[in-house]
Structure 1
Amino acid sequence: MLPIHIEGTPEFESTLSALRIRGTGDLANVTPAVTEIINNVRRAGTSAVLGYIEAFERRTPKALVRHAGPEAEGGFGGAEALERLAPEIRAALETAAARIARYHERQRDAGDLGAADVAPGGPALQAGFSYEEDGVLLGMRVRPLRRVGVYAPGGKARYPSSVLMSAIPARIAGVREIVLASPSPDDVTLAAAHLSGVTTLLDSGGAHAIAAMAYGLPELAPVDKIVGPGNAYVACAKRLVFGDVSIDGITGPSEILAIADDAADPRLVAADMLSQAEHGEDSYALLVTTSARLAEAVARELDAALPELTRRGIVESSLSTHAAALVVGSRARLAEVADQLAVEHVAFHVNDAEALLAEIGTLGAALLGRLTPVAAGDYFAGPSHVLPTGGSARFGSPLGIYDFVTRASVIRYSDAALRAQGPAIEKLALAEGLQAHARAVTLRLSSLALAPAAKRDPSRS
């Protein structure tokens, strides 16, 4: 079932070329339907959302929107759900939440959300930086978004892990209001929401949930940004609402590239590939290796494991349409092919994985060594598993606290600075034909010329 392509053959080149533009999906096919859904939700609000839930999910939620708090008082019941979980599931969920929080706290401490370097006498920039140059105070202020929407799918499978991986970075960044959209959430999802700091639950999925978060309902204020994975309808809806709200990106099908040399364990390589293939029929399970023998062994292991899998039909569909093994002639080519594909998950089944990673510039998450399963990154390790897909690792990054802040420039001129720089500013404005710009500088320079320096109030300079 795993097609094997040897470098130097026409099949190899055509397969590699096709894989570079993989997973984009034909959103054009669903755009008319999604556009209609968004417009209806904007026009009719709650009644439209409830109508789509009944039509698509065959149910009527007891409460469409619920806010955090005790279940008895109308909350979404996250704390109660956590208490109901089996002890081993609760412990695993709590440990995962703590690990994810610690990782993203380090992002905060290492990045531009750390302590500000405030110049003497300057304004208190809560985070970011500031400095003074030639009498001009310059800085960047960083503040968290006010309200964020998190989407967690609930169709073919439930993903409480996506709640943890999306909401916890938002909470660590300082976002005060976190809305979770997830249809018919079970106890594990509700418990994950509670542990993540979710403040509001929208009991809905699909494009209508995206529209509700983007434009608001009478009982739900609109959010500033929407993050999280979803199907083609969700991805299309995120694309269409972008501009009215921010989004983390257009997430496509899950994907993995296993990089293996001839010393790799084919059973473990196959296991990692299967772990991503089971996400959906459109998932990509890819292998690049220096060994044709290893590729053949992995193909056998994939076939042998299928009867054991509960989602066998999904996996078979994924492998039959989107799986491929690429056999290359050198270790250097392993890195080159990986760089061209820019895959979401890259599992390194090679000797000296760190050295090979250093040669690859574009990937979403690197799983280094035979003892690091992709599932560890999906659930437990710490970094968010919301990753760039479809080659967007060329310009995208894993979801992190930097996705949940805005940055503002801060500028303050002293009188000496304006005297020194004002004439050049005037000349540039007039060169662009913007007389009013130049006039705004000229008036200030004139006022400085008329006011004796000793009598000027320095606080107004």
Structure 2
Amino acid sequence: MVQITQLNSTDTDFQQNLDKLLAFENAQDDAIDVAVAKILADVRELKNSAVIEYTNRFDRLSINAAQDLELTHADLQHALAILPIEQRTALQQAADRIRGYHEKQLLASWQYQDGNSLLGQKVTPLDRVGLYVPGGKASYPSSVLMNAIPAKVAGVKELIMVVPTPDRERNDMVLAAAAISQVDRVFTIGGAQAVGALAYGTETIPQVDKIVGPGNAYVAAAKRRVFGIVGIDMVAGPSEILVICDGKTDPDWIVMDLFSQAEHDEMAQSILLCPDQVFLKQVMQSIERLLPEMPRQEIIRTSLKNRGALIQVRSLDEACEISNKIAPEHLELSIDQPEKWLDKIYHAGAIFIGKNTCEAFGDYCAGPNHVLPTSRTARFSSPLGVYDFQKRSSLIQVGPQDTAKLGRIASVLAHGEGLQAHARSAEYRFKD
């Protein structure tokens, strides 16, 4: 018997139960934070020697020199060459679609004349970005594509990838993805020591301007600590999917979409909103029948028990309202005429429109980025994109005919704030 929370929006305690279901404490583990602080301090002070020591300890290696941590372009090309043709083709096709989508996101510089003055915006790429990629058995070549390609489209001059190789285990698809994405340098390090190396720089590993990419709790804690020294993409929580269904999709499809997120880990969240009680019962039957077929069934089972839910709603309108409160990472609109409902959705990381559009397409090859805001942060943040690797500088050039006009405004406001040097600086521009 599979346990999963079943709610009805007409229940008087529905909101209370929903809040309890959504609650996720993303607090830091004190022991992890203390360990990470020590690792980062060592890397900052001792540089290469600390990176080598921690890499040997945690990845069970015997590296003696920092140069042994770097892979060559030949290594990456070899990994690409030895891949089965089916995998190589799939990686390339996914990369092409991801690149095509992100090229649409490029920000442009602009200028305009305001009287006798010039105002505008200059857009420039980051100089150097670090990409953290999990290694060993938990390897995700799709994450390489999703993080590296928008950085390259943005014009980032140098992309440094770090990927641990515990027990010297390398994942050829990850390295092949790095080759396809035109990653510039790859170092076989991971954990907090890799984040520290990217943030502070060592004799061998250059300091970067921003660190992106997923990692475990130690990596997340390290990214939190180095933020401000470098930029970071986000500190993501467990994966989430919310499906709004009108009861007309094959229940097996819906169940497998729910499973697709639940199989990530025990804290992942899978929720279905539907007004059709009969369909919800059919979904429950499909869960019972399909779960035993899944290789990761115990993870799915625990995820559904801890954080999953089947929720009967009054209407699709109400489903959209609830969805906006949840602000899910992934939202599937598995309904007829889904475009009609799109305008009612305000908060979601990615929206999958129509019953044929499963979330897995977005994870791998549709084109939009799969690095998405979690834990309700879609209320105020966006998917990773080219804009995360570009920055904007304001352009201001005041012409001689405008100095008196702007100078008087600035002078009045500066005196009002008690900042006399500001005022005098402005006044110098228009007084004889």
Give TM class, smaller chain: over 0.9
Tell me whether 1:308 sits opposite 2:289 in the alignment. Answer: no
Tell me whether 1:445 sits opposite 2:415 in the alignment. Answer: no
Distance 1:288 1:131 in 2: 48
Partner of 2:121: 140
Tell me whether 1:402 sits opposite 2:406 in the alignment. Answer: no
Q: Answer yes or no: is the 8 Å Cα contact 2:10–2:314 preserved in 1.
A: no
Pairwise CA distance, 1:53: 2.6
Report the 3-state secondary structure (helix = DSSP H, G, I; strand = E; otherwise coil) of the residue aligned with 2:430: helix
Which of 156, 159, 165 is the equivalent residue of 2:146? Answer: 165
Distance 2:242 2:389 in 1: 29
Report the 3-state secondary structure (helix = DSSP H, G, I; strand = E; otherwise coil) of the residue aligned with 2:421: helix
Distance 1:154 1:67 in 2: 14
- Equivalences, count: 424
Partner of 1:79: 77
Give the AA of the match of 1:406. K
Pairwise CA distance, 1:40: 2.1
Q: Answer yes or no: is the 8 Å Cα contact 1:277–1:315 preserved in 2.
A: yes
Pairwise CA distance, 1:271: 0.5
Query: Could you tell me the percent identity over the aligned residues?
Result: 41
Which of 215, 226, 233 is the equivalent residue of 2:211? Answer: 226
Pairwise CA distance, 1:60: 4.1
Which of 311, 318, 321 is the equivalent residue of 2:303? Answer: 318
Kindly tell me: are residues 389 and 211 of structure 1, through their superposed partners in 2, closer, same or farther at Cα, counting changes over 3 Å?
same
Partner of 1:120: none
Give the AA of the match of 1:2. I
Which aligned pairs between 1:61-460 and structure 2 lie closer than 5 A?
A: 65-66=69-70, 69=73, 71=74, 77-108=75-106, 112-113=107-108, 128-154=109-135, 157-184=138-165, 185-446=170-431, 449=432
Kindly tell me: are residues 300 and 11 of structure 1, through their superposed partners in 2, closer, same or farther at Cα, counting changes over 3 Å?
farther
Distance 1:28 1:393 in 2: 27
Deviating more after overlay: 351-360 vs 393-402: 351-360
Q: Deviations over 1:143-166 (max 9, x none)?
A: 000011112223652101000000
Kindly tell me: are residues 130 and 370 of structure 1, through their superposed partners in 2, closer, same or farther at Cα, counting changes over 3 Å?
same
* Rg larger in structure: 1
Q: Answer yes or no: is the 8 Å Cα contact 1:64–1:204 preserved in 2.
A: no
Deviating more after overlay: 58-67 vs 354-363: 58-67
Report the 3-state secondary structure (helix = DSSP H, G, I; strand = E; otherwise coil) of the residue aligned with 2:280: helix
Distance 1:325 1:46 in 2: 51
Q: Deviations over 1:274-312 (max 9, x none)?
A: 111111122111111112322222222223222222222
Report the 3-state secondary structure (helix = DSSP H, G, I; strand = E; otherwise coil) of the residue aligned with 2:70: strand
Pairwise CA distance, 1:23: 6.2
Partner of 1:456: none
Kindly tell me: are residues 372 and 281 of structure 1, through their superposed partners in 2, closer, same or farther at Cα, counting changes over 3 Å?
same
Distance 1:204 1:272 in 2: 34
Kindly tell me: are residues 438 and 339 of structure 1, through their superposed partners in 2, closer, same or farther at Cα, counting changes over 3 Å?
same
Report the 3-state secondary structure (helix = DSSP H, G, I; strand = E; otherwise coil) of the residue aligned with 1:389: coil
Kindly tell me: are residues 12 and 157 of structure 1, through their superposed partners in 2, closer, same or farther at Cα, counting changes over 3 Å?
farther
Partner of 1:116: none
Partner of 1:74: none
Partner of 1:6: 8
Pairwise CA distance, 1:2: 2.0
Give the AA of the match of 1:410. L
Q: Deviations over 1:373-400 (max 9, x none)?
A: 2111100110110011111100111111
Kindly tell me: are residues 135 and 68 of structure 1, through their superposed partners in 2, closer, same or farther at Cα, counting changes over 3 Å?
farther
Mark the runs of 5 or more structure 2 residues left unpaired by the alignment. none
Kindly tell me: are residues 156 and 398 of structure 1, through their superposed partners in 2, closer, same or farther at Cα, counting changes over 3 Å?
same
Q: Answer yes or no: is the 8 Å Cα contact 1:61–1:203 preserved in 2.
A: no
Q: Deviations over 1:63-95 (max 9, x none)?
A: 5642653x3xxxxx1111111100111000011
Give the AA of the match of 1:262. G
Deviating more after overlay: 400-409 vs 229-238: 229-238
Pairwise CA distance, 1:10: 5.3
Pairwise CA distance, 1:365: 0.8
Distance 1:277 1:258 in 2: 13
Q: Give the TM-score normalised by structure 1.
A: 0.87
Q: Answer yes or no: is the 8 Å Cα contact 1:68–1:199 preserved in 2.
A: no
Give the AA of the match of 2:153. I
Q: Answer yes or no: is the 8 Å Cα contact 1:68–1:198 preserved in 2.
A: no
Which of 17, 25, 34 is the equivalent residue of 2:36? Answer: 34
Distance 1:49 1:88 in 2: 37
Pairwise CA distance, 1:366: 1.0
Q: Deviations over 1:405-446 (max 9, x none)?
A: 111111111111102322232222222222222222233324
Give the AA of the match of 1:341. I
Partner of 1:52: 54
Kindly tell me: are residues 29 and 296 of structure 1, through their superposed partners in 2, closer, same or farther at Cα, counting changes over 3 Å?
farther
Mark the runs of 5 or more structure 1 residues left unpaired by the alignment. 72-76, 114-127, 450-461
Q: Answer yes or no: is the 8 Å Cα contact 1:429–1:437 preserved in 2.
A: yes
Partner of 1:453: none
Give the AA of the match of 1:90. R
Kindly tell me: are residues 4 and 366 of structure 1, through their superposed partners in 2, closer, same or farther at Cα, counting changes over 3 Å?
same
Give the AA of the match of 1:362. H
Report the 3-state secondary structure (helix = DSSP H, G, I; strand = E; otherwise coil) of the residue aligned with 1:445: coil
Give the AA of the match of 1:79. Q
Q: Answer yes or no: is the 8 Å Cα contact 1:20–1:391 preserved in 2.
A: no
Pairwise CA distance, 1:11: 5.5
Kindly tell me: are residues 261 and 68 of structure 1, through their superposed partners in 2, closer, same or farther at Cα, counting changes over 3 Å?
same
Q: Give the TM-score normalised by structure 2.
A: 0.93
Distance 1:321 1:67 in 2: 41
